[in-house]
Structure 1
Amino acid sequence: MAPEKPTISASYASPEPSLARTFQHEIAAPLRRDHSVAEKKAYLSELRGLVTLVQAEVNVFLTERMEEDKKAAGAKDAERDAKEEQNYGEENVEEDA
């Protein structure tokens, strides 16, 4: 059985299981102690690039989530505003309780 390739990953946990995400990328070659300086530099360069890539993916995902949340909140606000306008100037028993 071949050894698993090393990966870099970030996980997003959510109370809603369908929103949980893992962002993961394989690292081309593991760093061993007997690597030359040039190989170590190449490894670290790849690692730095993958960290930036994972960060960008997480940012895109979270931005999309925020936009969806804003739309959902906007719909609720519009519904509340419509109800308030409909009852404008009238006593609202629900609020007085």
Structure 2
Amino acid sequence: TLTSSYTSPTNAPFTTAESIPAPPTPLDAASKAKYLAALRASVSSAQDKINRELTARMEEDKKREEAAGLKHTVDDEKEEENYGEEVQGEEE
């Protein structure tokens, strides 16, 4: 089973779980390919669920900030555009 857990001081926690079949034995090339395809599908499904949950929590954070009279300072469009990319001139 592939599991992930999320906790935060300001948002509700969540856990995801994806079943992954045990690799068959003996593991010939065809069996290995089938197992890896199932593993890849499980990981992709988990990523989709995690992304949906995190996006919902980001929206909750924005609403909470707005309700408190705070200005949302993150440019969401820019963040989305640069997601996973190294931005030149940005200090870590």
Which interval holds the TM-score relative to the shorter structure?
Answer: 0.5 to 0.7
TM-score by length of 2: 0.67
Per-residue CA deviations over 1:32-83 (Å, capped at 9, x if unaligned) read 44122111101101101111110111010000001011011101117xxxxx
Report the AA paired with residue 13 of structure 1. Answer: T
8 A contact 2:6–2:15 mirrored in 1: yes
Write 1 or 2 for the structure with the bigger share of helix: 1
Partner of 2:54: 62
CA shift for structure 1 position 8 = 1.1
Query: Given that residues 23 and 32 in structure 2 are in contact (C-alpha distance below 8 angstroms), is that contact kept between their aligned partners in structure 1?
Result: yes
Q: Matched residue of 2:16: which SS?
A: strand
Name the count of aligned residue pairs: 70
Distance (Å, rounded) in 1 between the aligned partners of 2:26 and 2:18 = 24
Partner of 1:44: 36
Which structure would you say has the larger Rg?
A: 1
Helix, strand or coil: the match of 2:18?
strand
Q: Percent identity?
A: 37
Tell me which residue corresponds to 1:4.
none
Determine whether 1:11 maps to 2:5: yes
Partner of 1:24: 17
Q: Which amino acid aligns with 1:44?
A: L
Structure-1-length-normalised TM-score: 0.64
Q: What residue number does 1:87 align with?
A: none
SS at match of 1:24: strand
Unaligned runs of 5+ in 1: 1-6, 79-97
4+ runs of 1 displaced by more than 3 Å?
none
